[in-house]
A = this chain, B = another copy of it.
């Protein structure tokens, strides 16, 4: 018995890693003043075809529901965001700084770093067209990665500008209906033999490669990098006009985050999409926006490979997982007294466990250590005193049972 191909079971260790990633995403996003929202996992299929064309259906988990509705598991969150923002436009003061952690689904061939479901952090700033919003969005992307313990020698955010390329295409007299195709060729060029790209580009090959090989920039990108420098984040960012991103709707700054080793797929990617909300809401609401997404799968791989990041994760996981106190019941006559103690300690916020059924004292101490307990409290012959044992130092103290709480406060604050 297996999960479906491309879907994951999250056993306790996997779930702890997932929770760690989610908690870090939330923590950093909140430091930036972003607020969390979410949409449904299932949406009308039309929401996605409207944005991406009918070809997207081939990659969806889509079906007809029992009410004859065409529906799909969400492949991404942006169309839902446009729907929600358009429907509630008047309720929220702009700019919005919103984030979400949706699970998204695509029916496609599985590859390393690419399953049929994944979780992705999404952040969007809606209602502000200036490069100042681009600065905040890229800074958040960098600080999320820093939050996981990556340094500038581990990761880089490559920034580019769609407008630069649109200006170029216009100057080269490329007809507008060819723009999207040409941009996709440039987007792929990094992963393709130069001759192949050149053949596709034809007469455009020479000027395009000149740009890709050079250190080209735009005024907007220079402002972006200067502002990130004012935050002390310069070493994490690199202007790279080779980043174009495949999707048609990007309209300004675009960026992607990578491991410096270049071994993995992109860690994150996004950009400005000033016309998309207008398009998806049929012109009802027009708001400029910039957003990006960071998936959990490639990120998890890189955390596993960078020792500092892995250590940070393991410390956080242990502190979420480990028990505070294990109650050892050495005499079954003391079980009811132990229950009262268990209850009052849990009420006090401690993580507490005990043997559900009678067990040998040695085995109980073993369980206490396996569960990572810091302290064991033994209920036995010493009653109405109990033995409080610090499982790190091995030190034991006899304590009158009403004094246990005070003793623990001392131990845990030491």
Contacts and interface: CB of A to CB of B under 8 A. Distances in A.
Nearest to A63: B63
Contacts of A58: 66
B69 A4 contact: yes
Nearest to A116: B42
A55 interface: no
A107 interface: yes
Given A12-B35, A37-B11, A1 B87 contact: yes
Contacts of A15: 35-38, 100
A148 to B, nearest CB: 14
Given A71-B4, A342-B231, A61 B42 contact: yes
**For the complex, would chain A's binding face be called helix, strand, loop or mixed by DSSP majority?**
mixed
Interface string A10-30: 111011101100000000001
Nearest to A8: B40
A353 B357 CA distance: 53
Interface string A115-128: 00100000001001
Interface string A122-139: 000100101011001001
Interface of A: 1-5, 7-12, 14-16, 18-19, 30-33, 35-44, 47, 58, 61, 63-67, 69, 71, 73, 80, 83-84, 86-88, 91, 93, 95, 97-98, 100, 103, 105, 107, 117, 125, 128, 130, 132-133, 136, 139, 143, 227, 230-233, 281, 320-321, 323, 335-337, 339-340, 342-344, 346-347, 349-353, 356-357, 370-371
